[in-house]
Structure 1
Amino acid sequence: MLDQAIAGAAQHGADALDPLGVAGITIVWADNNGIPRSRTVPAAAFDAVAERGVGITPLFAVFDSHDTICFGHAPLGGPSGDIRLVPVVDRMVRLAGQPGFAWVPGRQVAADGSPWPYCPRGVLERQVERAAALGLEFRAGDEMEFHLSRAGDDDGDGEVRPIYDGPSYGPAKMLSVDGFAEQLLRDLHHNGVPVVQFHGEYGPGQFEFSLAPADPVTAADRQLLARQTVHAAARAHGLRASFAPLVTLGQVGNGWHLHTSVSRAGRNLLSGGDGPAGMTAEGAAYLAGLLRDLPAVVAVTAPSLSSLQRLRPGYWCGAYACWGVENREAALRLVPATPLLGPGHANVELKPSDAAANPYLALAVVIAAGLGGIEEGLVPPAPVQDNPGDWSEARRAEHGVHRLPSTVEQQLGALLGNARIRGALGEDLTDAFRVVRQSDAARAEGQDAAEIVRSYRWLY
């Protein structure tokens, strides 16, 4: 839950923060690469910052993954200009792993305080408002995978040695990081990030925790806060964490599996109906809308070169555009309601999603695609219940199953060719996103696959 003392102090001004031991407040947002960026202000200055924000360059919208500033988007084509980063004060928490600092998400506004078209939080808020106008409410939860190694521990060839390389999913893997795991669970709880479960995942040195569902904006905030919490706990135990889509070439990658559900008047539309797998007609239309727009959606939810390396058939990451009931090879995995868990449990998991996605934009495009399906009354095709990668090309074509884009050019073609997803992002932000992706691709020309993996490893 939210640190009530910090939240109350923030509401009552900077003088109330000092007795609580807060020296600075870090205001965080995510850029078009899914990389958290921030400004930290002294506690004594927070009153003014809460009212007027802090100045930042608008060019953060055209930073690529490796901090090259791209000038191919005309409205942000030069060094002049300023915007304001305004803290969302009621979301402030004191960081358990960095007790001298508080953390708060930020909203980007124009210099005069008006909405700024490149603010990802604003993009998501508009989709949530659009859903509410249609009488619909969304919930979102995350499965977050990450890799752990000892700080500075590599094999001399640019590869990292995982903290543990043994049987997956067992208590021995958790025992190898016992102190870290204990601190992480305590810190996440203190920071108001509710965890459903935590375990050692399939890959060497790979771990995963799941976050409880929340409204979309809260879910996006928590994703950024959870990553900060993991990195701080890892540092405290001499470890280094990476959420990069692929940490080591040839191994499984790290996903940020995005689970969503949609309700009307408190009823989960993905259960209790007579449609496919027990969905209502609107729930099935939501899934069908996601499936229709999936190539453009994934251009936002798995946008980096490292993301593209992760999206391989046979790795449970959803390389093919299809849906299935509890099928972990399907890009869209329907998790149905059960008598044990109840109707509210039903959700759709998006497998091709990772930490290179801006969490606000990722949820915005998922909601936009799903709303389009509901508005048009779409009907999904039959579910796929095995691995489409084992099918022949002819069988995949017969069932309308196709490989998701595997190059930057293909992803951008899908995104720019989809008016619905472009409209959700806004034309200005879409074009800024384009130039960033193209800059990343140009930087990687001539690099082999291993070099690309290494170049992204510690960005997340």
Structure 2
Amino acid sequence: MDPLASLRQLVQTYPLIDNHAHNLLNKSNACNYEKYAFEQITSEAQGIALENAPHTLPLQRAAHQLATLYDSPSNDWDRVKEARDQWVKRDYDELIRRCLEGTHSLLLDDLLTDEDIEPFDWHDRFTTAPTKRIVRIEVVAAQVLAAILPEGYSEALDDVTNLRQTFDRFREGFHQEIEKAVADAVVVGFKSVICYRTGLHVQCADDKDDDSRLLQSFARTIQQRTGPTYRVEDKPLNDWVVRQTLDLLQAARTSTPLGPNKPLQLHTGLGDNDINLILSNPAYLQDLIARYPKVDFVLLHSSYPYTREAGYLACVYPNVYLDLGEVFPMVSRDAQESIIRESLEVVPTNRLLWSTDGHFYPETFWLANKQFRDALEKVLVDYVRQGDFAIEQAKTAASDILFHNSNRLYSLNETNSYDETQKPCSRPLAGSSSDEWKAFVQNNPDIKYIWLQFFDYTATLRLRIFPVQEFAKIVRKERRIGVCLATQQMLQNDTVCPEGSTTGQFYMQPDLSTLSRNVGLDSKSATVMSWWLTEDGRPLPGCPRTLLRNVTNQLQSEHGIQVLCGFEIEVVFLRCITNPDTDQEDFVPCVKNHSWSQMTRETRRMVPLLEEIAETLASIGINLEQFHSESAPGQFEFVLPPGPPLAAVDTLLKARQVVTQVAEQHGLRATLHPRPYTHAAGTASHAHLSITPSTKEDSFLAGILQHYPALMAVALAGDVSYDRVCSGLWAGSEWVSWGTQNRESPIRKISPAHWEIKTLDGLANMYIAMSAFLAAGYLGVKNNEPLTASDCPYDSATLSEEERKSYGITTQLPKSLSQSLDELEADSALQEVLGSTLVANYILVKRAEKKKLDSMEEEARRKWLLERY
């Protein structure tokens, strides 16, 4: 494995201990946005100020990410919340399970509120290890007051003797509760929110000579009681509560050689509008920290914006740790990376902790963990590349921050089973395989067979079929399914290229996030896509799905670029007839009186089929955005919803299966043949591609244009594909160019950082094709390529040479598969990203396939392709 890849993998998959979080809302309140505004997942604002949250970068970023979590077709905030509501209603536990994936243990401050939340130990079902408690000391103080002073207490507070007696009862009760918590094995630490109440400038010592200030503070606290509860928020009393807790913790630590170590967490920095931002600076704690050397202090929430001050304390005091929580997802990507960099300026990596500060909504955990892992990966990879960290040092730092530092500090004595062969799931929301499989079986008890599928280099969907009980063994890893490595060098008719070998095999591992019922045919079965693994369980370099996942992750981790893809399925419906003169079967259009976006008498006969396809797709969660007639006889287009690249391609292949299967039920052949008739327009498989942020769109586009001749080898994967790409057919024309809403350029720009790829059709392995386009964009961003071609509003083939030059158009598109394969073979930069083994095998297969097809008569070749695509 590439060393940087192993570092990235570790950061993204290492189990984590969340050292500070809070309870989740119960299901009945999970969508109670009136009381618990969902916008607070990225903002400390409240009330009217919270109305501005949708206009902040953190929330807009969260909307994009949550859309992928919920499989929402839209990033619009209201649509995202609607998708969330559906998830909660359908399976709240599953949503939580997905949001807490990778969390080994939670340390919960369960005294944030006692309303509308799930109990402390309820959270155990979603983590590997049991949940532990963090005790909030101000709440304990308030509870003791309520216990010794029942509602209606009216004794004279100006009687010093009585007040002192009452205070003594309070002190005794508070000590008892803290000591009981110290002795409780489930309690691993304490927390103070004095930062919110009176600020971090805590008085370090009691007034031995005159305790009147403390008694007066105690009296004011009693007088300010509202209803049955107290709120401890008067400075002398608050300072006393912190000092008393520290005294008890230090005493417990020193009472025996193995006295319990239970740190004190303090909220520092960022908070809502009742915090004094000046007094939230952890520098105010320096004297207190020095006074209690046997107590470990945890400065929560990165102390933002005072991260450097907190970092200094964690550097020079051996009893200080810096927690990197809450700012994920509260601040922008750049700020998050800056916070990690500032923390690493002087803080030893064994003094840094991770927490989400997750509360109420499971998405607060998911967003925080996702954004932290991404930012940590970016920073550590940068430092390794610059020679500041060795690979192993960076990996140790990451595992310490995520797991080992908290495990040691809180004396958790946990072990984890991290395995370097483990890989991130194709979708970040995926739960464990056993959970997903169990849920599928429960929801689909009639399913008897599973089709385990993969997509080879000839764009042939291949599969193995297993009875459910046998497939369950694969899920449980009780058996493996080997496939000959020669599949990577095999043609559609199962012949292996002469250069290929029939030695060796790879193994198919099901990706249960793609598990879906088979619909549109009479079969009690389901389909699932697979990963290709080596003998020792590592990802096989030639796996198309792994390639797309890796390139997508590379864009995200190295450049902060997120990608969405969407596809259009153009398909021609044909009838198979027998020619009475030759007794040969032939394919003819199902309708002839037909044109683009028009309803003719013949086209209307197709409406029941089209609606059946739309409804069948919707039954498995693929909701079409639109469908309509296309130009060629019997040609229609189905527009799929956008999604992350891997999920979008998975959806595309599943949707094609459904279209084909429903058509067959009506005696029709649905074909993706790029040019089934020479007298009509061809059939494409246009892809929409968008990136976030749009600030890097020029260099991304420049990379694609620079490598476009080589990209044609995987986008137009057969000679017949090139019959379609010529001027005048709205298929991208003949020159490397781009243009806003220009359908006669290979790249049509639709909006900022959103393009349509025109030169793409159904003969492509879409995993490889999209990987190649993303790889080219990645190279453009990595090398900061300038965009030398300008926005062209014309069909470049109709321009003069001088006119083309004025738009920066200098390169013709390849006219044949041979030309584009030569371009791919010569493009070493693109090969480096895609992998030389995969590219070499792909070129080998496509040249052998071309040779086979060239040997056929034209009509035989046409029928051969119609039967297979």
CA deviation vs aligned residue, 1:318-369 (integer Å, no higher than 9, x gap): 13211011000100000126xxxxxxxx611110111111111111111111
Of 311-320 and 30-39, more deviation after overlay is shown by 311-320
Matched, 1:444 2:853: yes
TM-score (norm 1): 0.87
Counting matched residue pairs gives 433
Q: Distance in 1 between matches of 2:617 and 2:443?
A: 23
Of 156-165 and 412-421, more deviation after overlay is shown by 156-165
Q: Distance in 2 between matches of 1:54 and 1:446?
A: 35
Residues 160 and 15 of structure 1: CA distance in aligned 2, closer, same or farther (over 3 Å): closer
Q: Distance in 2 between matches of 1:154 and 1:137?
A: 53
Residues 49 and 329 of structure 1: CA distance in aligned 2, closer, same or farther (over 3 Å): same
Judge conservation of contact 2:531–2:545 (CA < 8 Å) in 1: yes
User: Secondary structure of the residue that 1:349 maps to in structure 2?
Assistant: strand
Judge conservation of contact 2:660–2:669 (CA < 8 Å) in 1: yes
Q: 1:23-422 alignment to 2 at 5 Å?
A: 23-50=448-475, 51=477, 52-72=479-499, 77-98=500-521, 99-133=523-557, 134-152=559-577, 160-168=587-595, 169-172=597-600, 174-264=603-693, 269=694, 280=695, 282-318=696-732, 319-336=734-751, 347-380=754-787, 381-393=789-801, 395-396=803-804, 399-422=808-831
Judge conservation of contact 2:594–2:603 (CA < 8 Å) in 1: no
Q: Distance in 2 between matches of 1:11 and 1:387?
A: 50
- Counterpart of 1:20 (choices 424, 428, 445) is 445
CA deviation vs aligned residue, 1:167-203 (integer Å, no higher than 9, x gap): 4112336422122112100111112223111011011
How far did 1:302 drift?
A: 1.1
Q: Distance in 1 between matches of 2:846 and 2:444?
A: 45
Residues 192 and 421 of structure 1: CA distance in aligned 2, closer, same or farther (over 3 Å): farther
Residues 145 and 84 of structure 1: CA distance in aligned 2, closer, same or farther (over 3 Å): same
User: Secondary structure of the residue that 1:61 maps to in structure 2?
Assistant: helix
Judge conservation of contact 2:541–2:835 (CA < 8 Å) in 1: yes
How far did 1:96 drift?
A: 2.3
Residues 447 and 45 of structure 1: CA distance in aligned 2, closer, same or farther (over 3 Å): closer
Judge conservation of contact 1:62–1:435 (CA < 8 Å) in 2: yes
Give the strand-richer structure, 1 or 2: 1
User: Secondary structure of the residue that 2:451 maps to in structure 1?
Assistant: strand
How far did 1:18 drift?
A: 9.9
Judge conservation of contact 2:578–2:585 (CA < 8 Å) in 1: no
How far did 1:110 drift?
A: 1.3
Q: Distance in 1 between matches of 2:768 and 2:444?
A: 37
Residues 429 and 202 of structure 1: CA distance in aligned 2, closer, same or farther (over 3 Å): same
Q: Distance in 2 between matches of 1:18 and 1:58?
A: 35
Q: Distance in 2 between matches of 1:153 and 1:186?
A: 32
- Counterpart of 1:423 (choices 832, 836, 843) is 832
Q: Distance in 1 between matches of 2:465 and 2:603?
A: 34
Judge conservation of contact 2:568–2:687 (CA < 8 Å) in 1: yes
Residues 89 and 396 of structure 1: CA distance in aligned 2, closer, same or farther (over 3 Å): same
Residues 18 and 404 of structure 1: CA distance in aligned 2, closer, same or farther (over 3 Å): same
User: Secondary structure of the residue that 1:41 maps to in structure 2?
Assistant: strand
How far did 1:250 drift?
A: 3.5
Task: Name the residue aligned to 1:341.
Answer: none
CA deviation vs aligned residue, 1:27-51 (integer Å, no higher than 9, x gap): 2221112121111111111111222
How far did 1:394 drift?
A: 5.5
**Which residue identity lines up with residue 182 of structure 1 in the other structure?**
E
Higher RCO structure, 1 or 2 (CA under 8 Å, sep 6+) = 1
Q: Distance in 1 between matches of 2:853 and 2:804?
A: 32
CA deviation vs aligned residue, 1:282-311 (integer Å, no higher than 9, x gap): 112211111111111121111112212222
User: Secondary structure of the residue that 1:348 maps to in structure 2?
Assistant: strand
How far did 1:80 drift?
A: 2.2
**Which residue identity lines up with residue 286 of structure 1 in the other structure?**
F
**Which residue identity lines up with residue 599 of structure 2 in the other structure?**
P
Judge conservation of contact 1:364–1:424 (CA < 8 Å) in 2: no
Give the % identical residues. 26
**Which residue identity lines up with residue 498 of structure 2 in the other structure?**
F
Judge conservation of contact 1:9–1:17 (CA < 8 Å) in 2: no
TM-score (norm 2): 0.47
How far did 1:158 drift?
A: 6.8
Residues 16 and 170 of structure 1: CA distance in aligned 2, closer, same or farther (over 3 Å): same
Q: Which 5+ residue runs of structure 1 have no aligned equivalent?
A: 270-279, 338-345
Residues 250 and 392 of structure 1: CA distance in aligned 2, closer, same or farther (over 3 Å): farther
Q: Distance in 2 between matches of 1:307 and 1:31?
A: 18
How far did 1:254 drift?
A: 1.1
Task: Name the residue aligned to 1:273.
Answer: none
How far did 1:97 drift?
A: 1.7
CA deviation vs aligned residue, 1:343-402 (integer Å, no higher than 9, x gap): xxx611110111111111111111111111122222321122111222245544564243
Larger Rg: 2
How far did 1:210 drift?
A: 0.9
Residues 127 and 23 of structure 1: CA distance in aligned 2, closer, same or farther (over 3 Å): same
How far did 1:19 drift?
A: 6.4
Q: Distance in 1 between matches of 2:794 and 2:579?
A: 38
CA deviation vs aligned residue, 1:227-282 (integer Å, no higher than 9, x gap): 11011110111111001222223322111101100103xxxx1xxxxxxxxxx4x1
Residues 226 and 405 of structure 1: CA distance in aligned 2, closer, same or farther (over 3 Å): same
User: Secondary structure of the residue that 1:20 maps to in structure 2?
Assistant: coil
Q: Distance in 2 between matches of 1:248 and 1:198?
A: 22
Q: What value does the CA root-mean-square deviation take over the aligned residues?
A: 2.7
Q: Distance in 1 between matches of 2:570 and 2:444?
A: 36
**Which residue identity lines up with residue 86 of structure 1 in the other structure?**
Q
Q: Distance in 1 between matches of 2:528 and 2:839?
A: 26
